Chains A and B, each alone.
Chain A
């Protein structure tokens, strides 16, 4: 299984809502990532988990809250988002060394209204 699975595929939420994005992989990878991608831009790193511990937080606003319940799952909790947070949110995973291939999920298209 070389898949990273993200749910939901699409999400529309109001600025007062609380929602969660989910990501799952069964490749035994110990590093998992959240990226944000705006249209016509490269993926922008948000968070990195290594062995279920948060390793990198790229100064992301606290309205985004990551969680890694176990080595296969990664969540991103969303609360009080702004319209400018609308984007494609990509999850990825890799072996623990960061010079190996990262597998991306298909992403969640988020629209904040």
Chain B
């Protein structure tokens, strides 16, 4: 079955710096890769996603890149702000599969 590995488990950056979180997946049939942000005590919320026919996607300060050959994808947050502090989960799924496999999560701390 699919396995998603996520690194690092904890990331601490200074406000204004960039943050990068990396994930690898095992199932080459996976074709949808969402990223969720979960603040303490709240629900996971989708912040960006990418499909396998696209190599990069950007939304303001957030970007995601996908390397299908290497089976890895990354989240890039630029100009980090204290409100970016949260746990970020990468995930992978495939069409019709109904299963989203989550990475273990990265706890991001942005220091003011």
Residues of A within 8 A of B89 (CB): 42-43
New contact pairs (14) apart from A98-B96, A99-B95, CB-CB < 8 Å: A40-B105, A40-B107, A42-B89, A42-B104, A45-B99, A45-B100, A56-B98, A97-B95, A97-B96, A98-B95, A100-B32, A103-B46, A104-B45, A106-B42
A99 touches B99 (CB 8 A): no
* Majority secondary structure of chain B interface residues (helix, strand, loop or mixed): loop
With beta carbons under 8 angstroms apart, the residue of A41, A56, A103 that contacts B99 is A56
* Interface mask (B51-92 → A, CB under 8 Å = 1, otherwise 0): 100000000000000000000000000000000000101000
> Which residues of the partner chain B approach A56 to less than 8 Å between Cβ atoms?
98-99
Count how many chain B residues have C-beta atoms less than 8 Å from C-beta atoms of the other chain: 25
Mostly helix, strand, loop or mixed at chain A's interface? loop
Interface size, chain A (Cβ < 8 Å)? 22
- Given known contacts A42-B89, A48-B98, A98-B98, is B43 in contact with A104 (CB within 8 Å)? yes
Interface residues of B in 19-62 (CB under 8 A from A): 31-32, 34, 42-46, 49, 51
